[in-house]
Every structure is written in C-alpha cells, then in structure tokens.
C-alpha cells in the first residue's frame, strides 16, 4: 500500500514540477547562458563573449545610476512602509469603525500596478493634478511644481506611490499578527502601568517581529524592482535626465529597444544575485530571538 501511495504522490507532484521546470527554471537558466553571449534577440547565430557583458555593466553610467536609485529605494521604501503599516495596524485596534479603516488601506492592493501608476500620474500632473490643486486650495500655491519633471523630486514621487500601494497589505499582515497576541499579556502590561508607546515597543513589536522580518524581505524585493511605476509614470521614462532610472528599466530598454539581449541578460543575472544577497542579509540582520507563545 505504501508503495501505491508514493506512486500517487509522485504522480501528483510531477506535472507541476515539470511545468515549473519548463516555464520558470529553464528561462532562468537560459538567461544565465545568454548573459555570456551577444544574443541580439532574433539571430540564432550567437557568439560567446565571456565576461564582456559583466565588465560593461560597471562602466555603464545608466546602470550605475539605476543601481544608486534602487539603493536609495531599498533604504527608504521598506522602512517607511513598515513604519506606516505598523502604526496603522496598531492604531486601528479596538472599535469596529477603526477596523473598517483597514479595508480602506487595503484597497490599493486590489489595483494593478499599471492603474496605480496612471492614477498617480494624474495626482502629480502639473496643471490639473490633485496635488497641485490641493496645495492651491490650502493657500500653498508657492509649493506647486511639475512634480515628475524635476530631477530632485521625481524619484521621491515614485517612491511615495510605491509606498502608498504597498502599505495596505502590511497593515493587514501586521494587524493579524497583533490580533494573535494573547490578551492577557497586553492586559498584564497595562496593569503594570505601560503606556501605549511602551506597550508597542516592549510587547507588540517583539511579538510581531517575525512578520516584520518577512515584510523587510518582500519590500526589499519590491524596492529593487520599481520598473512598472517608473516606466509608466516618469518623464522619458526614467527621467527627467535619468533621475528615476532603475535596473529593471535599463534591462528592459537594452533588450527591447536596443536589441542587446545578451547584455540585458547580464543585468538580469546581476539583479538575481543582488536580490539573493539582499534576502540573506535581511534575514540575518533582522534575526532576533524568537518568542514562544504558549
């Protein structure tokens, strides 16, 4: 009987594994191979060029700019998103009305990235945009500007949209984690005279740290991407004057506009290892002692 069960399990596992191998693993593997070639996207006559594509990366000013911008996003996006999400999750505990807010926070999660980008483009557009209109209405018209057309502001505007779209999911994630903290622990802390801040720092945060750790990893990956928002929202795209260039965009442009698939694959490989390194680092840095709850 045992034998039959294994056969059944194998039969159930094999098709999905095969699909995964064909549609996920093999393209990855091909990208690794193409990164060492001069593949131009249409010719089957492909030459191996060794590490050329990779050495080229480090002297490509656009790719380096993209690396810097993704680096900045990596610092800002996860921190701000997690801080906001924790704040919203913790402050919407209690009454039904407050909990209803969590649904609102979650709404952006239901929209596709393309729609989010188009919406935010309308927010930032200079002459009839929501943001400039708002500033005008509250008498701050001196602050009005062409948000996405100023090199110093454009990337921050993109990050704001990114954070807006991500925060709702983590509110729900953290809220669920907070709900699962046993009421007696919270009550005991309150009886001992802990204020809301102390309660959050000493009780809530340590007990939801696992979720925060996961959030850091996910958001780190989001921050290394940012392609869709930049491609749809920004001037150029990637501008003005390359101030919002991200690695995904460089990769896309080299492959689909310049026909340099080999070089673009090298970018993809670099991005792959960066993401992998980042995940390992994030997991290590955010590692704390686990609190066991009975």
Partner 1 sequence: MHTHPTRRTLLLGAVAATALGACATSGADDDSEAAKGETTADNPFGAPADAPLEVVVFKGGYGDQYAVEAGTLYKPRFPKADVDHKGIQRVGEVLQPRFISDDPPDVVDNSGAGRLDLVTLVSSGKLTDLTELLDAPSLDDPSKKVRDTLMPGVVEDGTFDGKVFVLNYSSVLWGIWYSRSLFARNGWTYPTTWAEMLTLGDEIKKTGVAPWTWQGKFPEYMNDPLVSLAAKAGGHELVRSVDNLEPGVWRSPSMLAAAGAIHQLAVRGHIMPGSEALSHTEAQNAWSKGQAAFIPCGSWLEGEQQQVTPAGFDMVLGTVPALTGADKLPAGAVMAASSESFLVPAKAGNARGGLEYLRILFSRKVARGFAQNSRALPVVTGATDGLTLTSGLASTAQTAEAAGASMFGYRFRTWYPPLAKALDDATGELLTKRTTPEKWAERVQKAADAVAADSSVTKQKR
Smallest separation (angstroms) from partner 1 to the CB of 3: 19
Site string for partner 1, 141-170 (x = CB under 8 A): -----xxxx-x-------------------
Smallest separation (angstroms) from partner 1 to the CB of 132: 8
Smallest separation (angstroms) from partner 1 to the CB of 29: 3
Q: Phi and psi at residue 75, in whole multiples of 5°?
A: -80, -45
Among 5, 127, 191, 284, binds partner 1 (CB under 8 A): 127
Among 125, 213, 275, 286, binds partner 1 (CB under 8 A): 125
Contact call for residue 235 and partner 1 (CB under 8 A): yes
Contact call for residue 236 and partner 1 (CB under 8 A): yes
- Beta-carbon contacts of 241 under 8 Å, excluding residues fewer than 6 positions away, are 151
Total number of residues shown for the chain: 294
Among 130, 241, 280, 281, binds partner 1 (CB under 8 A): 241
Q: Which of residues 35-94 bind partner 1 (CB under 8 A)?
A: 37-46
Contact call for residue 126 and partner 1 (CB under 8 A): yes
Q: Quickly tell me which residue has 């200079």 as its tokens.
A: 126
Contact call for residue 259 and partner 1 (CB under 8 A): yes
Contact call for residue 29 and partner 1 (CB under 8 A): yes
Contact call for residue 231 and partner 1 (CB under 8 A): no
Instruction: Identify whether the C-beta of residue 222 lies closer than 8 Å to the C-beta of residue 162.
Output: yes
The dihedral through the CA atoms of 81, 84, 87, 92 has a sign that is negative
Cβ nearer to partner 1, comparing 129 with 220:
129
| Longest Cα–Cα distance in the chain | 79
Contact set with partner 1 (CB under 8 A)? 25-26, 28-30, 32-34, 37-46, 121, 124-127, 146-149, 151, 235-236, 239-242, 253, 256-260
């Amino acid at each position: 009987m045992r034998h039959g069960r294994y056969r059944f399990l194998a039969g159930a596992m094999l098709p999905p594994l095969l699909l995964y191998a064909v549609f996920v693993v093999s393209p990855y593997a091909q990208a690794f191979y193409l990164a060492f070639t001069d593949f131009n996207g249409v010719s089957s006559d492909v030459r191996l060029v060794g590490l050329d594509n990779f050495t080229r990366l480090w002297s490509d000013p656009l790719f380096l700019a993209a690396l810097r911008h993704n680096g900045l996003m990596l610092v800002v996006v996860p921190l701000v998103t997690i801080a906001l999400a924790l704040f919203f999750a913790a402050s919407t505990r209690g009454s039904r009305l407050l909990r209803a807010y969590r649904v609102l926070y979650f709404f952006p999660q239901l929209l596709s990235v393309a729609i989010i980008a188009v919406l935010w483009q309308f927010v930032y557009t200079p002459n009839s945009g929501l943001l400039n209109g708002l500033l005008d209405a509250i008498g701050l018209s001196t602050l009005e500007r062409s948000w996405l057309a100023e090199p110093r502001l454009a990337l921050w505007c993109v990050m704001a949209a990114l954070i807006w779209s991500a925060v709702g999911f983590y509110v729900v994630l953290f809220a669920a984690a907070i709900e699962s903290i046993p009421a007696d622990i919270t009550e005991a802390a309150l009886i001992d005279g802990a204020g809301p801040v102390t309660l959050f720092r000493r009780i809530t945060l340590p007990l939801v740290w696992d979720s925060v750790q996961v959030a850091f990893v996910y958001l780190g990956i989001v921050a290394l991407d940012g392609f869709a928002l930049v491609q749809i929202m920004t001037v150029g795209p990637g501008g003005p004057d390359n101030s919002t260039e991200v690695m995904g965009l460089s990769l896309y442009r080299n492959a689909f506009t310049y026909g340099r698939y080999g070089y673009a694959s090298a970018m993809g490989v670099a991005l792959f290892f960066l993401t992998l390194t980042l995940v390992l680092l994030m997991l290590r840095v955010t590692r704390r002692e686990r609190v066991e709850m009975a």
